[in-house]
Amino acid sequence: MVRVRQPSPQTAAVLAALAEAGDGWSHGYDLCRALGLKAGTVYPILIRLAERGHVDTSWETDPPRGRPPRHLYRLSTAGAELARSLAATAPAPDSAAPGAARLAPRTA
């Protein structure tokens, strides 16, 4: 018997924020700010989601001068399906990811 675990509220918030960004790329720092979560919470979630195939990652190709390239994140097809299923089973609209609507999509 395979046990299916529900994602933590923080993971659900990251998925919702990435879903809000659509096909655009997002920086982890922007996710932290938009969701009000610390980097020590968001980056391990992004790593796990990427390892499970729910998030695509890339390096920024043209960073501003004087700043190193940053990682970019967006939902994969499987991640978008997971985000949709979580949104469909969410108990109430007020439990949606805080700040997800403020997250502006980024392009690589």
pLDDT at residue 59, as a whole number: 95
Pair 42, 32: CB distance under 8 Å: yes
pLDDT at residue 93, as a whole number: 54
What averages of pLDDT result for each successive group of 10 residues across the chain (108 residues)?
80 95 92 95 96 95 90 95 88 52 46
SS3 per residue for 25-68: EEEHHHHHHHHCCCHHHHHHHHHHHHHCCCEEEEECCCCCCCCC
Alpha-carbon gap, residue 68 to 77, rounded angstroms: 29
Instruction: Determine the residue type at 53.
Output: G
pLDDT at residue 107, as a whole number: 46
Phi, psi of 72 (to 5 degrees): -120, 150
pLDDT at residue 63, as a whole number: 86
pLDDT at residue 100, as a whole number: 46
Domains delineated in the chain: 9-60+69-90 (1.10.10.10)
